[in-house]
A and B are shown apart, each in its own frame.
Chain A
Amino acid sequence: QKEVEQDPGPLSVPEGAIVSLNCTYSNSAFQYFMWYRQYSRKGPELLMYTYSSGNKEDGRFTAQVDKSSKYISLFIRDSQPSDSATYLCAMKENYGQNFVFGPGTRLSVLP
């Protein structure tokens, strides 16, 4: 079993739809959770960062962490064609230097 699993997609949705992206993980020591957006041929851009369980909202983006289920989600409201990208989840333990990434989900928002 991989440490972090993520559906690779591709996921295609119409413009204006609500998008749900998810990751599951196996390491209960993960405390920090991140979502990155990566456009083609570009470096990943940090979108959301959360600590432990709960929700965090930033504009059209909401990140949710459920540590009891080892499950994190990113919701995108009113999706736009400019949201078309690969979305990577990442996680980190409280101590140590390493970040563990999911393989990414490719999202296409169709106009």
Chain B
Amino acid sequence: SQTIHQWPATLVQPVGSPLSLECTVEGTSNPNLYWYRQAAGRGLQLLFYSVGIGQISSEVPQNLSASRPQDRQFILSSKKLLLSDSGFYLCAWSGLAGEVISYNEQFFGPGTRLTVL
């Protein structure tokens, strides 16, 4: 079965500090990977997606960046956090689940709650 991990679960960072959030997927290969942000009481905002190693598409211009150094690893980074970066960050994947390839269903990780003070 497929499992998606995110860490850390909770993070409190001062304004201007760097950020690195990590996401890994197990039990699949060649997944599409996604980073979303969910502000309190609001919907999901797509930040980045990746269809392969080193291939990153950015949906929202901001001070965040993403990298995919390995097939099943997706990293969200920032050099200097802003107050507005606070939120719930979710990693998601789509692709091969068991013997079924479906890029039309998406599965989420447990999320990282980031508070920037």
Contacts from A to B (Cβ < 8 Å): 8, 31-32, 34, 36, 41-46, 49, 51, 88, 90, 92, 97-99, 101-104
Residue from B41, B103, B106 within 8 A of A90 (CB atoms)? B106
Given A32-B104, A92-B104, is A103 in contact with B42 using a C-beta cutoff of 8 Å? yes
Whether B43 pairs with A43 at a CB distance below 8 angstroms is no
Residue from B57, B59, B104, B110 within 8 A of A42 (CB atoms)? B110
Q: Specify the main secondary structure of chain A where it touches its partner.
A: strand
Whether B106 pairs with A45 at a CB distance below 8 angstroms is no
Residue from B42, B88, B103, B106 within 8 A of A34 (CB atoms)? B106
A8 to B40, CA, bound (A): 13
Interface size (B, Cβ < 8 Å)?
24
A36 to B110, CA, bound (A): 13
B101 within 8 A of A: no
**Chain B residues with Cβ under 8 A from A42's Cβ?**
110-111
Whether B104 pairs with A46 at a CB distance below 8 angstroms is no
A88 to B90, CA, bound (A): 14
B109 within 8 A of A: yes
**Chain B residues with Cβ under 8 A from A98's Cβ?**
46, 49, 59
Given contacts A88-B44, A92-B104, A104-B43, 15 further A-B contacts (CB under 8 A): A31-B104, A32-B105, A41-B111, A41-B113, A42-B111, A43-B108, A43-B109, A43-B111, A44-B108, A49-B104, A49-B105, A88-B43, A99-B34, A99-B106, A103-B42
Give the nearest-CB partner of A102 in chain B: B43
